[in-house]
């Protein structure tokens, strides 16, 4: 028995020694790998630079692929910069002009003199494969950047003082930037931007709808805003039960179904199924209460299945992760942009987000809300898409005397940074919620909702009347014969901007089909959550 134990112990010892040797070998391989030369293709760099000085139109084939930093050798970076300078000045590009440009840059001797430039052209027969060669050079550059970023991440990971969530965010942003920076340029000269601006104006000249952003599908609102603009942070605020979620779902549906713009909705208050039930109610024009109870007649079941086809196919993504923090929000938006090319983000709602991860301290609630609003704005600018964020209003609205219940900017809860960061601030207001049944001219306010544009950084402010259909949980345009309600005690111009008269109703809103992509994760919010 003792012999068997001894043999067993020897076998165990040999196994442990083998595992140790294997780990040591892996560690040695890692250490030796750190001493390798960075990825490079110097021979191809020489071939590309030589071809650029030989062929007249060669640069046009690689101008969107290469930049000076793409080259491994510093001398090659300088030579390409000289070639690019000549291109910008519309000067001819050849051996003599490149040498002259390098001399003017004070870099001729650093790159090896005119003799080295001549050698580059001697090594090239033609520029037939220059684009293929340029892509290999670009790939090597991306590999070097990945190694650089990875090394920084490794070093920071060993630093015990590093904030892990900041490190994760920095790591993901760095990797995202590598991909984005090799598809577009971050810094551009005025003449280049001017050409693009003029081209855009020429394209807009032929458009009759006046839309330059993502359409809301609400005619009067689009007339004032020209759609939700890229890189804008739009705050949509109201008291509970005013219809905030109904409004943004109507907007999301119109953008995704009617215009095929991918939209993501981050729902921190309601589950994805609850949101879809609301969309179905507006789609099929079956009352939400019936859908909630499943109490549908036979013809309503037929109506349900016949009208949800387009909705099922719409590019709408719903994320109902509860207690979402800004780190998760930024990370998810970047991934969704890369995967689905999302065109608009909706957050329902801002006050339910967290500025830091659970368990981390840092300032009061107003400072945390300020951090969240800045993060929303940075995502809008980074991804060049509009971000619509719902926000709660303070109870100051309720305490005002008389019928003056329309919200103001000062009513924004924890409003210090929200108002500052937002490009647009919209308020939703329904007079009938406060028991106001008629306006000053005696017209019924039943089913009437208002969108008050209180702040518009790049346009006019004012008031847009809409129709709120509560039983179908949606906003649509008003009827043609309704001219809208002016602010109490004044006119629409008192709100700081004009507004178009009511537009034709969206009678076919119930036929809006389109598809929805939903994650499996859901929260446990009740089905009877307020509008």
* 148, 243: one domain: no
Lowest mean pLDDT among 80-89, 268-277, 453-462, 522-531: 522-531
Is 245 among the domain residues?
Answer: yes
Decide which of 355 and 504 is more confident: 355
- Kindly state whether residue 6 falls inside one of the protein's structural domains: no
How would residue 92 be classed by pLDDT, with cut points 50, 70 and 90?
A: confident
| Spatial distance between the Cα atoms of 185 and 214, rounded to a whole number of angstroms | 24
Q: Identify the pLDDT of residue 187.
A: 52
Residues 6+ apart with CB under 8 A from 237: 244, 390, 391, 392, 393, 407, 411, 412, 425, 426, 427, 428
Q: How would residue 295 be classed by pLDDT, with cut points 50, 70 and 90? A: confident
Please name which of 452, 494, 1 lies closest in space to residue 242, comparing C-alpha atoms. Answer: 452
Q: Which two tokens stand for residue 443?
A: 């017209």
Residues 170 and 227 in one domain: no
pLDDT of 288 over the 50 cut: yes
Give the model confidence (pLDDT) of 326-350 as tens digits. 877 887 888 888 888 889 999 987 8
Question: For residue 93, is pLDDT > 70?
Answer: yes
Residue-range definition of the domain harbouring residue 342: 211-356+365-477
Say what the pTM is.
Answer: 0.57
Whether 466 maps to a domain, the answer reads: yes
The pLDDT score that the predictor gives to residue 203 is: 66
Does any domain span residue 109? yes
Claim to verify: residue 86 and residue 165 sit in the same structural domain: yes
Which band of pLDDT confidence, cut at 50, 70 and 90, is reported for residue 358?
Answer: very low
Per residue in 21-61, pLDDT (tens digit) is 444 444 444 444 456 788 888 989 898 999 888 887 788 77
Place of tokens 């991909």: 179
Number of separate domains in the chain: 2
Do 106 and 235 have their domain in common?
no
The whole-number pLDDT of residue 103 equals: 92
Instruction: Tell me, yes or no, whether 131 and 222 share the same domain.
Output: no
Would you place residue 479 in the very low, low, confident or very high pLDDT band (cuts 50, 70, 90)? low
Give the range among 103-112, 139-148, 381-390, 470-479 with minimum mean pLDDT.
470-479
pLDDT tens per residue, range 405-433: 788 787 776 656 777 788 888 888 888 87
pLDDT at 76 over 90: yes
Residue 431's closest CA among 458, 399, 403?
403
In a domain, 66, yes or no: yes
Does 133 share its domain with 218? no
Determine the average pLDDT of the residues in 187-193. Answer: 66
Segment 480-524, tens digit of pLDDT? 333 333 344 343 333 333 333 333 333 333 333 333 333 333 333
CATH of the domain at 173: 1.10.860.10
- The DSSP bridge pattern shows strands 233-238 and 462-469 to be unpaired
pLDDT at 512: 31
Mean per-residue pLDDT over the chain, rounded: 74
- The residue ranking higher by pLDDT, 210 or 507, is 210
pLDDT of 14 higher than 70: no
Residue 203 lies in a domain: no
Banded model confidence at residue 100, pLDDT cuts 50, 70, 90: very high
Task: Tell me 233's DSSP state.
Answer: E
Residues linked to residue 391 through DSSP beta bridges, in sequence order: 237
Residue 118 CB-density burial (10 A; 0-12 exposed, 13-18 middle, 19+ buried): middle
pLDDT reading at 530 higher than 90: no
| pLDDT tier at 181, thresholds 50, 70, 90 | low
Distances (CA, A) of 106 to 82, 145, 179: 11, 28, 33
Q: Is pLDDT at 463 greater than 50 in this prediction?
A: yes
């Amino acid at each position: 028995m003792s012999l068997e134990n001894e043999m067993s112990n020897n076998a165990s010892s040999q196994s442990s020694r083998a595992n140790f040797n294997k780990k040591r070998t892996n560690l040695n391989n890692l250490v030796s790998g750190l001493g390798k030369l960075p990825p490079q293709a110097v021979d191809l760099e020489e071939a590309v630079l030589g071809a650029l000085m030989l062929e007249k139109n060669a640069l046009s084939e690689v101008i969107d692929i290469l930049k000076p930093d793409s080259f491994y050798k510093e001398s090659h970076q300088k030579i390409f910069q000289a070639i690019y300078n000549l291109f910008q000045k519309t000067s001819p590009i050849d051996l003599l002009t490149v040498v002259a440009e390098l001399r003017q840059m004070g870099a001729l001797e650093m790159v090896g003199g005119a003799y080295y430039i001549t050698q580059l052209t001697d090594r090239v027969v033609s520029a037939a494969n220059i684009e293929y060669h340029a892509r290999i050079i670009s790939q090597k550059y991306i590999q070097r950047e990945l190694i650089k970023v990875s090394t920084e991440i490794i070093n920071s990971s060993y630093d015990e003082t590093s904030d892990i969530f900041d490190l994760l965010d920095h790591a993901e942003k760095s990797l995202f930037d590598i991909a984005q920076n090799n598809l577009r340029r971050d810094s551009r000269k005025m003449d280049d931007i001017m050409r693009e601006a003029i081209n855009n104006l020429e394209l807009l000249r032929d458009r009759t709808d006046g839309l330059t952003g993502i359409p809301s599908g609400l005619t009067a609102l689009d007339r004032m805003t020209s759609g939700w603009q890229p890189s804008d942070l739009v705050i949509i605020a109201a008291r509970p039960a005013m219809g905030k979620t109904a409004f943004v779902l109507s907007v999301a549906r119109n953008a995704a179904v009617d215009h095929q713009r991918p939209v993501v909705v981050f729902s921190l208050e309601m589950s994805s199924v609850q949101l879809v039930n609301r969309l179905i109610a507006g789609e099929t024009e079956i009352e939400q209460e019936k859908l909630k109870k499943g109490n549908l007649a036979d013809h309503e079941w037929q109506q349900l299945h016949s009208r949800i086809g387009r909705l099922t196919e719409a590019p709408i993504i719903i994320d109902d992760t509860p207690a979402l923090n800004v780190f998760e929000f930024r990370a998810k938006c970047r991934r969704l942009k890369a995967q689905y090319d999302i065109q608009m983000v909706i957050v329902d709602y801002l006050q339910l987000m967290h500025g830091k991860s659970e368990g981390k301290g840092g300032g009061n609630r107003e400072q945390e809300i300020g951090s969240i609003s800045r993060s929303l704005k940075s995502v809008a600018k980074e991804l060049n898409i509009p971000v619509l964020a719902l926000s709660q209003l303070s109870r100051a609205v309720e305490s005002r005397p008389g019928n003056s219940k329309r919200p103001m900017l000062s009513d924004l809860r924890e409003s210090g940074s929200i108002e500052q960061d937002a490009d647009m601030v919209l308020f939703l207001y329904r007079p009938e919620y406060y028991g106001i049944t008629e306006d000053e001219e005696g017209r019924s306010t039943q089913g009437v909702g208002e969108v008050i544009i209180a702040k518009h950084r790049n346009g006019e402010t004012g008031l847009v009347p809409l129709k709120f259909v509560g039983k179908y949980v949606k906003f649509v345009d008003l009827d043609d014969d309704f001219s809208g309600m002016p602010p109490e005690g004044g006119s629409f111009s008192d709100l700081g901007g004009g507004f178009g008269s009511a537009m034709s109703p969206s009678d076919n809103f119930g036929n809006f089909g389109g598809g929805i992509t939903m994650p499996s994760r859901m929260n446990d919010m009740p089905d009877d959550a307020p509008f």
